[in-house]
Amino acid sequence: MRLNLKVPFAEKDQAKKLGARWDAGRKIWYVEGKDDLAPFARWSPTPHDASAGDVRTQKGASGRNQDSSGTVQVGSKYVEHPRVCDCLPWEVCDNCRATAFGSRV
């Protein structure tokens, strides 16, 4: 199983020594096939990071969340939709194609 990591540039050598690998295409550090992920815990993405990358909501220039209809969702009207899969926000896989931003069903 692959685990993407959020490694600051200053700590990249430490992550590499522990066995993390750099994915140049996605520009992200990751580990794969490790039984013990404890050494990488400080670089594991938080739940906030995962939900911020939801493909169905996009941040506008103002930094507020905007849904696919173009309306800005603020305050009590904001609804976070559950993730369909674990793909990266800018990629659309077969599992999330029907719910992806700008998709035609």
Q: Cα(65)–Cα(58) distance, rounded to whole angstroms?
A: 6
Which pLDDT score, from 0 to 100, does residue 23 have? 92
Which pLDDT score, from 0 to 100, does residue 101 have? 61
> Strand 28-32 relative to strand 21-23: parallel, antiparallel, unpaired?
antiparallel
Q: Cα(34)–Cα(21) distance, rounded to whole angstroms?
A: 12
Q: What is the mean pLDDT of each run of 10 residues along the chain (105 residues)?
A: 90 94 92 89 74 40 51 67 72 74 56
Which pLDDT score, from 0 to 100, does residue 70 have? 59
Which pLDDT score, from 0 to 100, does residue 21 have? 93
Spatial strand order of the sheet with 28-32 comes to: 2-5, 28-32, 21-23
Element (H, E) at 49: helix 47-52
Element (H, E) at 65: strand 65-66
Which pLDDT score, from 0 to 100, does residue 104 have? 56
Q: What is the pTM of this model?
A: 0.46
